[in-house]
């Protein structure tokens, strides 16, 4: 059994600019956490990013759907990590809000 987290973040960047910013942040997170996870993979199919992360012997997956006016992030945490789902949700919300702010250059 897994624990599902859903976060939606409104924006008015348009699909392509939002995807670009999100892709840059995902690459940064992969780079920043390379020593903390066993494996991470991000694949884009159109306007949807599929993410798989293995850490602590557990696998989590996520899907980011980018729309013209919002991004929807859905994360599936394995039941062993469900206890930290609140912190995971806060981290996702903070990163997505930061990346999709209007007139803002995301932190690199």
Q: Establish if 42 belongs to a structural domain.
A: yes
What local confidence, expressed as pLDDT, does residue 37 receive?
Answer: 85
Sheet holding 58-66, edge to edge: 2-10, 70-78, 58-66, 48-55, 39-45
Gyration radius from the chain CA atoms: 13
Number of independent structural domains in the chain: 1
What local confidence, expressed as pLDDT, does residue 5 receive?
Answer: 87
How far is Cα of residue 1 from the mean position of the Cα atoms in its chain?
21
Q: Establish if 51 belongs to a structural domain.
A: yes
The model's pLDDT over 76-96, given as tens digits with 9 standing for 90+, comes to 988 777 667 777 778 888 878
Phi first, then psi: give them for residue 37, nearest 5 degrees.
-120, 150
Q: Establish if 108 belongs to a structural domain.
A: no
Q: Establish if 107 belongs to a structural domain.
A: no
The model's pLDDT over 51-62, given as tens digits with 9 standing for 90+, comes to 999 987 888 999
- Strand 39-45 to 48-55 pairing: antiparallel
Q: Establish if 106 belongs to a structural domain.
A: no
Half-sphere exposure of residue 41: CA atoms within 13 angstroms, side-chain side: 8
Q: What CATH number does the domain containing 28 carry?
A: 3.30.310.50
């Amino acid at each position: 059994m897994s624990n599902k987290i859903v976060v939606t973040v409104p924006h008015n960047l348009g699909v392509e600019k939002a995807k670009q910013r999100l892709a840059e942040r995902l690459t940064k997170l992969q780079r920043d956490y390379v020593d903390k996870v066993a494996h991470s993979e991000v694949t884009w199919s159109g306007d949807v990013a599929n993410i798989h992360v293995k850490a602590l012997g557990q696998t989590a997956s996520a899907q980011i759907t980018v729309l013209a006016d919002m991004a929807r992030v859905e994360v599936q945490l394995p039941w062993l990590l469900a206890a930290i789902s609140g912190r995971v949700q806060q981290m996702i919300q903070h990163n997505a809000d930061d990346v999709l702010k209007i007139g803002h250059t995301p932190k690199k």
